[in-house]
A and B are shown apart, each in its own frame.
Chain A
């Protein structure tokens, strides 16, 4: 039996991790779908959610297989993180293949002159009138890190909620809700597009973390009462 204060704090930490994670994921929104900006061609919220939920499926399976004991917690969180990373990495890999062979553009960042990881020149490969296209290595690595944190955060929320209700379905649906709340907060903070940890917009992160802390804390308070089997206070 885990005490309610720890559960609330755990859910809050998981939510904040999700919000933190979304800032790492390179999303270009609608312009990226037309190869007009660097990043993945969809919205921040939906991409982070898609990846996080794949992690949630992996974490749910692992928790069911190894049990909900504290000793197995790290394994459940790691499994969630790997599920999320696999989804996002396959998506970025095939999206890059489409940018290269389907559209004929080079993955290039418009926010930095040199890729911080490979040291490759970027600005010469940005086509005219665009803000970059595709996912160069730095964006790919940043996205992988984002999926890692998002997967851990979502799984942590699920693990904590499971200890409130012992009901996988209810814990899962509430974890999805908390995931969406934090993805939307991050999405508003980013305001459209972000390339990853090397993007100047990444510096806005502290504001989102504070907002997420407040919002998730309230969600956690409600969760303790609303989730069936809850009201452990």
Chain B
């Protein structure tokens, strides 16, 4: 295949990955999945019942591996029946998001019911209001991952079949969103009642914000807030991972005998990230300064 065409496909994959990452993170914020959900789960026990959606189905990575590979199996079957690729991907993503919707209802009911002794109500309107936001964002994420898997397998001749690629990218996007965007939700949005930059004292665990500008805060408010930073940052991470990893082997194609150069280019990018991280660390140290005074220096 012409290198320019291949680069175009890699660019589409990068763009799809960016959208997938952002949508995945926002879905997990609306549904309150993954690690920050421990605080949502803890809040009623601390005497603070709330209207935040509560669905820790499992860790985000295996959950997304499941939705994406389920959708990919449907897509593969439809492709085998000569359905057009776009239609096959759209129907596959729909099936994946329906599975996500079904799995979202049961943990909310189950978890809220198990907290009856802490006076946590089950809000049926919370399910009605949040479910389509969860399924809609999930659909976008699964759709984009199926596009990436389809391009890799069918057009770029990757040896892994579409469901296996979808499983791998689903697990990867879950791991990335759980590590990046969820921090914005868990560390900042859930604890805006504490001063910015003060850190979250372990003693304050469970004291999540439950009131909004008007009325009670819902998880849709959380997605609104995280869409400003956490979601796009997650998209950027997943987009960079998919784009740079494929860009280096497209630019320096192994079949042309340039495999080792592609490896060297990747190592160069890795070194660059270490240096960039150091710059961020130095910026933070200089801007925020130490929290405590050095006792030995103070005494002297």
Q: Which residues from chain A sit less than 8 Å from chain B, CB to CB?
A: 29-36, 40-43, 46-47, 49-51, 53-54, 56-58, 60-66, 72, 75, 78-79, 82-83, 85-87, 89-107, 118, 120-121, 123-130, 133-137, 140-141, 144, 168-169, 172-173, 176
Most chain A CB within a 10 A radius of its CB, from B172, B198, B255: B172
Contacting pair B172 A53 (CB below 8 A) = yes
Q: Are A66 and B36 in contact (CB under 8 A)?
A: no
Q: Assess whether B233 is in contact with A42, with CB atoms less than 8 Å apart.
A: no
Q: A42-B35, A75-B260 are contacts. A168–B160 as well, Cβ < 8 Å?
A: yes
On chain A, the residues within 8 Å of B276 by CB distance are 93
Check: B216 CB closer than 8 A to any chain A CB: no
Contact (Cβ within 8 A) A129 B203: yes
Interface contact B175-A65, CB-CB below 8 Å = no
Complex CA distance for A57 and B158, rounded to whole angstroms: 8
The total of chain B residues at the interface (CB under 8 A) is: 86
- Residues of chain B within 8 A of A118, CB atoms compared: 278, 281
Assuming A32-B35, A34-B187, what are 13 further A-B pairs, CB within 8 angstroms? A32-B183, A34-B186, A35-B186, A57-B245, A60-B160, A85-B266, A102-B188, A102-B233, A104-B196, A104-B198, A127-B291, A128-B291, A137-B277
Contact A46 B270, beta carbon cutoff 8 Å = no
Cα A133 to Cα B171 in complex, Å, equals: 24
Q: Mark B171-200, 1 if CB is under 8 A from A, else 0.
A: 110111011111110111011000011111
Residues of A contacting B179 with CB < 8 Å?
40-42, 47, 91-92, 95
Return chain B residues, CB-CB under 8 Å to A97: 233, 280
Q: Across the interface, name the chain A residue whose C-beta is closest to B236.
A: A94
Minimal beta-carbon separation of B212 from chain A (angstroms): 20
State whether A50 touches B171 (Cβ < 8 A): yes
Tell me whether B270 and A86 are in contact (CB under 8 A): yes
Residues 39-78 of B, flagged 1 when their CB comes within 8 A of A and 0 if not, give 1000000000000000000011110000000000000000
What is the distance, in angstroms, from A128's C-beta to the closest C-beta of chain B?
A: 6
Q: B263, A78: Cβ atoms under 8 Å? A: yes
On whether the beta carbons of B284 and A46 are closer than 8 Å, the reply is no
Complex-state Cα separation, A6 to B233, whole angstroms: 44
Q: How far is it, in angstroms, between the C-alpha of A63 and the C-alpha of B160 when the chains are bound?
A: 11
Among the stretches B93-101, B110-118, B161-169, the one at the interface with A is: B161-169
**A109 CA / B258 CA spacing, docked (Å):** 40
B206 to chain A, nearest CB (A): 11
